[in-house]
């Protein structure tokens, strides 16, 4: 006999600004059940979770929670401002009968000391503190909205294990496919304001969704209905995209086999993105390069060759130096020892963690065309901007929409569209999956799989790595990096362990040494000076300003007729670009040095 539900939502409806967001949603959570809540960006998943948590009242419907059942909710942007330290915030989540030692255990497991001031937390630190806050009381029901945002691989893998060990029922929203597949036992799909339920985990979702959509499409045709062009194109197009991706994944597996069979082999896929003239066979060659900040080695005696067509993934915990390594490999940063040689005819496009700023007053079409005409050039072929927008899931009606009113997911898609439209033969992607919904992740994977140039990317998303790269470069600690053929899963199979096991094992000794050193240790007395604290706080904003200025200068230089029309202005723009890039690189190096020093001093 089935147990009665701990949490029940029936016939939930909610309207925002005159437009129905949720029309008839159902949600039932039984004791110990683990369900994932999925749906397109903007479909109302987070809103439905807030209704389940009792934070929002629905316009219609019933919410029932078993008397005495405890519910904890993790928001995407937790507010810690009412508490002085992270430990105080975590302990505030405990109930009268809860174990007080569990709060400290979770704080330590999530890489915090408990003494961090909540006003000074980074996004990742705030996310870890919020996770400890909701996990500490081991509630009957956990409602988690994007719990892996801003977390690195060791913490994500630890969180998976912790959630599996809990008796709590779980409702989970996440863009991390591997995380969903590992944890979910049931799937609730929120689509067009209504929910559908499948009593199987997320691993079966795409197949089930495609069957539902194909059946609906057939019924529409039987009824003689003309499909609504944009809404239905977005909905039914996912089936065709997924089937194309099955073939692309086959190509990727063939690339990996070639990589294993031949030392430094180069893989090939079909061209489909904006592409510059083909680069030379050799893209990057690093010979014995090393880089340190103070006494902390970031890269030690690394030799590596990246050939045309390679897809190299870089993996490591936060603070391992992944961004520094990318800067070394692309020539943006000089190594302390060794040399880096870049291949001929390289045209590089970069999408970094901070994402280049978008002009909020410009329209979507103006952003993609640079304000010049109504077409973009992709792979040497001119394409109307409306057609290119549809490739990135924008409707034709959004062409004149100001960027400032787009949702977060739409802005992410627009930044991808703009970056990938630039002619290039080397794509450098630093955490490209941050804050992307599943549809945009599908799109990005498709673009990378079709790209015929070379790709270097950093990511904590295991499924994304498995779907995109031909080899991975993994941090082994103490500045050592080792390359493995294949994706993340192939790396784990070859090493016999994942990133989390390595990190925990490596960090045990330094912590023991710190305890032996005691309070009289010179390192424990060292604190950041006033100027260092000021630079650490202000440099991120300065880097964003420099990136925005660089983007504007690059837009000026993108005019192919500028040099012949106005050589003086062209040279002035080139000089300004060089100066801005030099200042940006210096700022990034200074910020990274200070951030690593701060982490070292805080243990």
Distant-in-sequence, close-in-space partners of 305: CB < 8 Å, separation ≥ 6 = 264, 282, 284, 285, 286
Q: How confident is the model at residue 318 (pLDDT cuts 50, 70, 90)?
A: confident
Domain assignment of residue 233, yes or no: no
Let me know whether 162 and 33 are in one domain: yes
- The count of other CB atoms within 10 Å of the CB of residue 7 is 23
**pLDDT for position 250:** 65
Let me know whether 63 and 151 are in one domain: yes
Into how many domains does the chain fold? 4
Let me know whether 417 and 440 are in one domain: no
**pLDDT for position 505:** 37
Let me know whether 63 and 106 are in one domain: yes
DSSP string, 81-96: TT-SBHHHHHHTT--T
Domain assignment of residue 262, yes or no: no
**pLDDT for position 62:** 95
Residue with tokens 């016939």: 11
Let me know whether 336 and 473 are in one domain: yes
Share of the chain above pLDDT 90, in %: 36
Let me know whether 62 and 130 are in one domain: yes
Let me know whether 380 and 363 are in one domain: yes
The residue among 457, 490, 512 that closes a domain is: 512
Query: What number is the average pLDDT over the span 432-457?
Result: 81
Residue 395, pLDDT > 70, answer yes
Q: How confident is the model at residue 33 (pLDDT cuts 50, 70, 90)?
A: very high
Domain assignment of residue 246, yes or no: no
Query: What number is the average pLDDT over the span 280-297?
Result: 89
CB 135 within 8 A of CB 127: no
Domain assignment of residue 224, yes or no: no
Let me know whether 395 and 438 are in one domain: no
* Spatial distance between the Cα atoms of 28 and 48, rounded to a whole number of angstroms: 12
Q: Which tens digit of pLDDT belongs to each residue from 245-279?
A: 555 556 666 766 666 654 333 322 222 344 444 55
- How would you classify the pairing of strands 375-378 and 381-384? antiparallel
Q: How confident is the model at residue 562 (pLDDT cuts 50, 70, 90)?
A: confident
Let me know whether 418 and 430 are in one domain: no
Q: How high does pLDDT run on average in the chain?
A: 81
Q: What range defines the domain where residue 187 resides?
A: 7-209
pTM (two decimals)? 0.70
Task: Return the exposure string of 539-568: e unless at least 16 CB atoms fall within 10 Å of the residue's CB, then b.
Answer: beeebeebbebbeebeeeeeeeeeeeeeee
Distant-in-sequence, close-in-space partners of 501: CB < 8 Å, separation ≥ 6 = none
The residue among 460, 483, 512 that closes a domain is: 512
Residue 339, pLDDT > 60, answer yes
**What is the largest distance, in Å, between two alpha-carbon atoms of the chain?**
82
Domain assignment of residue 90, yes or no: yes
Domain assignment of residue 253, yes or no: no
Domain assignment of residue 438, yes or no: yes
**pLDDT for position 245:** 55
The residue among 467, 485, 512 that closes a domain is: 512
Residue 508, pLDDT > 70, answer no
Let me know whether 431 and 396 are in one domain: no
Let me know whether 204 and 321 are in one domain: no
Residue with tokens 């994942």: 498
Let me know whether 40 and 121 are in one domain: yes
Domain assignment of residue 239, yes or no: no
CA angle 23, 29, 30 (to 5 degrees): 155
Q: How confident is the model at residue 241 (pLDDT cuts 50, 70, 90)?
A: low
CATH number at residue 579: 1.10.287.380
Q: Which tens digit of pLDDT belongs to each residue from 140-190?
A: 999 999 999 888 888 899 999 999 999 999 999 998 999 999 999 999 999
CATH number at residue 61: 3.40.50.300
Residue with tokens 């329209």: 363
């Amino acid at each position: 006999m089935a147990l009665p539900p701990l949490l029940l939502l029936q016939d939930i409806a909610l309207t925002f600004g005159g437009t129905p967001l949720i029309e008839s949603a159902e949600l039932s959570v039984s004791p110990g059940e683990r369900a994932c809540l999925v749906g397109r960006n903007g479909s109302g998943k987070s809103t439905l979770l807030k209704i389940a948590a009792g934070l929002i009242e629905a316009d219609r419907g019933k919410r029932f929670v078993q008397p005495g059942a405890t519910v904890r909710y993790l928001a995407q942007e937790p507010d810690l401002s009412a508490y002085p330290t992270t430990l105080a915030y975590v302990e505030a989540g405990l109930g009268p009968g809860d174990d007080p030692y569990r709060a400290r255990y979770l704080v330590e497991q999530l890489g915090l000391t408990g003494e961090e001031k909540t006003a000074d937390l980074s996004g990742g630190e705030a996310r870890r503190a919020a996770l400890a806050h909701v996990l500490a009381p081991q509630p009957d029901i956990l409602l988690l909205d994007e719990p892996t945002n801003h977390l690195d691989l060791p913490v994500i893998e630890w969180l998976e294990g912790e959630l599996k060990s809990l008796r709590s029922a779980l409702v989970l929203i996440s863009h991390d496919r591997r995380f969903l597949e590992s944890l979910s036992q049931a799937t609730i799909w929120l689509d067009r304001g209504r929910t559908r339920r499948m009593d199987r985990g997320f691993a079966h979702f795409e197949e089930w969704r495609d069957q539902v959509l194909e059946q609906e499409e057939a019924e529409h045709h039987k009824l003689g209905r003309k499909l609504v062009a944009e809404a239905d194109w977005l909905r039914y197009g996912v089936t065709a995209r997924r089937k194309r991706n099955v073939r692309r994944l086959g190509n990727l597996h063939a690339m990996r086999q070639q990589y294993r069979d031949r030392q430094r082999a180069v893989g090939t896929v079909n061209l489909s993105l904006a592409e510059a003239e083909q680069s030379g066979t050799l893209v990057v060659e690093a010979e014995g390069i090393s880089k340190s900040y103070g006494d902390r080695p970031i890269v030690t005696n690394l030799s590596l060759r990246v050939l045309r067509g390679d897809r190299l993934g870089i993996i490591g915990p936060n603070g391992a130096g992944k961004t520094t390594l990318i800067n070394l490999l692309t020539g943006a940063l000089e190594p302390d020892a060794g040399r880096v040689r870049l291949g001929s005819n390289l045209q590089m496009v970069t999408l970094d963690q901070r994402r280049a700023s978008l002009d909020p007053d410009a329209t979507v079409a103006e952003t993609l065309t640079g304000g010049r005409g109504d077409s973009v050039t992709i792979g040497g072929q001119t394409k109307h901007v409306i057609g290119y927008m549809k490739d990135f899931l924008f409707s034709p009606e959004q062409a004149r929409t100001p960027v400032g009113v787009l949702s977060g997911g739409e802005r992410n898609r627009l930044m991808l569209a703009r970056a990938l439209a630039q002619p290039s033969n080397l794509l450098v992607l630093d955490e490209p999956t941050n804050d992307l919904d599943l549809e945009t992740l599908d799109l990005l994977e498709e673009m990378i799989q079709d790209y015929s140039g070379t790709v270097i990317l950093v990511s904590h998303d295991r499924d994304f790595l498995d779907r995109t790269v031909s080899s991975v470069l993994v941090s082994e600690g103490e500045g050592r990096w080792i390359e493995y053929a294949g994706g993340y899963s192939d790396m784990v199979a070859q090493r016999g362990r994942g990133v989390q096991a390595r990190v925990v094992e490596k960090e045990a000794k330094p912590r023991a040494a710190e305890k032996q050193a005691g309070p009289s240790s010179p390192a424990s007395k060292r604190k950041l000076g006033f100027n260092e604290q000021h630079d650490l706080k202000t440099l991120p904003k300065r880097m964003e300003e420099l990136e925005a200025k660089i983007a504007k200068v690059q837009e000026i230089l993108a005019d192919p007729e500028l040099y012949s029309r106005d050589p003086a202005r062209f040279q002035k723009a080139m000089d300004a670009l060089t100066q801005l890039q030099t200042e940006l690189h210096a700022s990034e190096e200074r910020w990274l040095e200070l951030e690593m020093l701060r982490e070292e001093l805080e243990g």
